[in-house]
Amino acid sequence: MGKRLLVIGGVAAGPKAAAKAKRCDPQMEIVIYQGEEEISYAGCGLPYYVSGVIKARDVLISRTPGKFAQDGIKVQKNHQIEKIDVQSRTISGRKIGSGEAFSDQFDRLVIATGAYPIRPKIEGIDLGNVFYLRSIFDADALFEKVKSERVRNVVIAGGGYIGLEMAESLVQLGKNVKIVELAPQILTLFDGDFAGILRQYLEKKGVEIFTSEGIEALRGEGGKVTHVQTAARVLEANAVLMSLGVRPRVELAKKAGLRIGETGAIWVNEKMETSAEGIYAAGDCAETTHLITGKKVWVPLGSTANKQGRVAGVNLCGGNAIFPGVMGTAIFKVFDFNVAKTGLNMREAEKEGFHPIQAIVKGFDRAHYYPGGKESTLKVIADQETGCILGGQAIGEGPSDKFIDILAMALHGKMTCKELANADMAYAPPFSPVLSPVIVAANVLTNKLEGRVRGIQVEEVREKLSTSRESFQVLDVREEDEVKRKRIPGSTWIPLWKLEKRVGELDKKKEIAVHCESGLRSYKACLKLQREGFEKVKNIDGGMLCWCDDLERER
C-alpha cells in the first residue's frame, strides 16, 4: 500500500501538490480537505467575474471533485480542519453544516491554507454591504449586490491591486467609485512617480482617490452601510469593498507547533518543507525568499502558489525539487492600463543598502512607423556600484507584461545594464522598436553609470521647486507645441536647438534640472551645459512622462 497524503486547502497550491504527487507516485493515497463548498478555483479571476468580463462562474473552477476522483484523488469539501497533531500524524476537524467531528491519519501533509483579508477593528465593520474579495463566495455576494441599481456609490478601502482592479469593474458597472488609501500614494509597491501616472489616469476615468487618509468608521442605517468616515471627510457609500490586503492563515500551523517565519507566514525550506519532517506548506500561507535581497518575504500570488505546490508535490514523494524564491514580480490591468513591476523599487533598493539609479523611457510595442502602436512608460533601476539591474516598473497601454518579464529574467540572470543593453531580443517592426525599450533604458543607465549625466527624480524636483527656488532652476528643452500642451510651473523654456545661443539666460550658480518629453533631448542639453561650464546639471528622470500634476498651461 502507498503512503497517505493529506492536503489542507483546495484552491491553488493544495490541488497542485496533490496532482503532482499522484503523477510522481501513483500508489499514494491522497485526500484534499477543503473548508468551503468549492475547490480548485481561480482566485485571481474573481474581479473579472464580478465585472462581467468572465460571464460564467463555472469557468473559474478549473477542476471539479469528479475530475480529481478520475485521477485517484479524493476531495472532502466543507471539512474544516481544526487541529494538526504532528506527533501522532493526525488531523482532526468538523464538517461544516452538520458539525460532525472527523479525524484522519497522514504520512505526508501539505498545508495550503492560504490567506484571509484584513478586517480592521473599526466601528461599523459588521454592517451589511461591507464586502471583501477573497473567496469565490465573496465574489458571489459582491456580484449579487452590485448588479442592483440602488448601489450607486461604492467606497474602496485600500489602493492596492485588488482595490484598483475592482475600481475598474465597478466603474464599468456604472458606479461612482472612491478609493481611500492610508498611505501617501496608491500602489505602494511602486515608486511615487509611477503611482502618480496611474492616479492621474484613474481620475480621468472618474475614480476619486483620497490618499494619506485612513478610514475611521463606517456609518449605517438599518444595519447597512451608508457612509464612510475618513480622517478628513464623510463619503456616501451604498457598499464598501475592504481591500486592505491579506494575512497568511497560519493558526493551524502555529497551534501545531510549526515554525512561523519572521514575515508571519509559515517558515519553509527551499523544498517547501516546514519545521516538521514530512509536513509541507505551499501557497499564500507560506513565506519565501526574495532573490535580490536574500531576505525572507511573504508575497502571496497565484503563480507562486502553483510553483510551490508542484515543488512540494515532487518532494513529498521523495523527489528533489527546489523553489528558490521570488523577484517580487507582479502585474494587473486597470481599464486599458497594464501595470507591472519586478525586483526592487527605488525606495526598497535604498533601504536595502543599494545605490539605485533609474532610467525612465517610453516603451512602444512596435516600430514608430508601424501603425497602431501602444505605449507604456518603462522604468529600469540599477545599482550604481555594480551596474546590476535591481528592478523595473511599467505602466500604460503598451506591453508592460513583456517588458517586466524581460526584466525579471534579467534579474534571474543577475545581469548588469551593460549586458542587458546587448541582449538579443526579437525585433521586427510589428513587435518592437528596433531597439527594445528595455535596451534603451539599459543604455540610459550605462550613460549614468559612466557619470556622463546625473539624474534627478520628479519628486525631488517638485520639492526643490517649492523650497529652494533661489538655488534651483528647471530647464525645458522641448519644442513649442509640446510646451503648450503641458509644462512644469516655473521652468525656463529654451528649445534644444537654441540652447547654444541662449545659454546666457541661465544662471550658472544655480543647480539646473533639465527635462524634455522623455529624456533624450534633455540628455543632450545636459552634455552641452556641462561643456559650457555648468557644474550642477541634472537630467530629470522620465521628463514629462512622469510629471503628472501641478500642470501649467499656456494660453
Give the separation between CA 153 and CA 200, rounded to whole angstroms.
21
CB of 33 to a copy of itself, least distance (A): 22
Q: Which is nearer to a copy of itself, 62 or 492 (CB)?
A: 62
Give the separation between CA 160 and CA 393, rounded to whole angstroms.
15
Among candidate residues 24, 44, 285, 546, the one labeled active-site is 44
CB of 483 to a copy of itself, least distance (A): 19
The reply to whether 44 belongs to the active site is: yes
The sheet carrying 108-111 orders its strands as 73-76, 29-33, 4-8, 108-111, 279-281
CB of 434 to a copy of itself, least distance (A): 5
Q: Which is nearer to a copy of itself, 242 or 411 (CB)?
A: 411
Question: In Å, what is the CA distance from 305 to each residue of 69, 128, 159, 243, 309?
Answer: 22, 32, 23, 20, 6
Q: Which is nearer to a copy of itself, 27 or 471 (CB)?
A: 27
CB of 219 to a copy of itself, least distance (A): 34
Q: HSE of 259 in the Cβ direction (CA atoms, 13 Å)? A: 13
Give the separation between CA 523 and CA 435, rounded to whole angstroms.
18
Q: Which is nearer to a copy of itself, 447 or 457 (CB)?
A: 447
Q: Strand pairing of 79-85 and 511-515?
A: unpaired
Q: Which long-range contacts (CB under 8 A, 24 or more apart) does 199-203 make?
A: 199/548, 200/548, 200/549, 201/334, 201/335, 201/337, 202/164, 202/167, 202/334, 202/335
Give the separation between CA 109 and CA 14, rounded to whole angstroms.
10
The sheet carrying 511-515 orders its strands as 454-456, 537-540, 511-515, 472-476, 492-493
DSSP secondary structure code for residue 137 in this structure: H
Q: Which is nearer to a copy of itself, 232 or 434 (CB)?
A: 434
For residue 134, give the amino acid letter: R
Q: Which is nearer to a copy of itself, 443 or 457 (CB)?
A: 443
Give the separation between CA 185 and CA 190, rounded to whole angstroms.
9
Backbone angles phi, psi at 75, to 5 degrees: -115, 130
Q: Which is nearer to a copy of itself, 137 or 427 (CB)?
A: 427
CB of 252 to a copy of itself, least distance (A): 25
DSSP secondary structure code for residue 245 in this structure: -
The sheet carrying 330-334 orders its strands as 330-334, 337-343, 389-396, 375-383, 356-364
193 in Cβ contact with 381 (< 8 Å) = no
Q: Which is nearer to a copy of itself, 258 or 394 (CB)?
A: 394
Which residue is it, cell 502571496? 300
Tell me if residue 376 falls in helix, strand or coil. strand
As given in the structure block, the three cell numbers for residue 17 are 501538490
Q: Quickly list DSSP for 311-331.
A: HHHHHHTT-------B---EE
CA angle 210, 394, 42 (to 5 degrees): 80
CB of 91 to a copy of itself, least distance (A): 27
CB of 421 to a copy of itself, least distance (A): 7
CB of 479 to a copy of itself, least distance (A): 12
CB of 139 to a copy of itself, least distance (A): 13
Q: Which is nearer to a copy of itself, 176 or 400 (CB)?
A: 400
As annotated, the active-site residues are 44
